[in-house]
Amino acid sequence: MTKPKLSPDSSQISIWLLSFPLFFINFLVFSEHLVVVPLSAGISAATGLPPVNSGLLVAIYPLAAAISALIL
């Protein structure tokens, strides 16, 4: 009878090493978006943009943050 393997194999470890940073980046992008959304009225007033355009700016912000995070 063979003993069960207690240590994780390298494929399970590499999945965790890849998944954790991706989750962390996704969490930061999402939390940044939650900070920027309430500021959309202030952004609109400060830049002189109509509220519709500042809403579009707020919607595009997480995409730009995610791309810049991946580049960095």
Q: What is the CA radius of gyration of the chain?
A: 20
Assess contact for 3 and 44: CB atoms under 8 A.
no
pLDDT of residue 62: 73
CA distance 16 to 26: 15
pLDDT over threshold 70, residue 6: no
Q: CB under 8 Å to 28, separation ≥6 — which residues? A: 65, 69
pLDDT value at 2 more than 60: yes
Q: What is the pTM of this model?
A: 0.46
Task: Give the whole-angstrom CA distance, residue 41 versus residue 37.
Answer: 9
Residue 44: what pLDDT? 86
Residue type (1 letter), 59: A
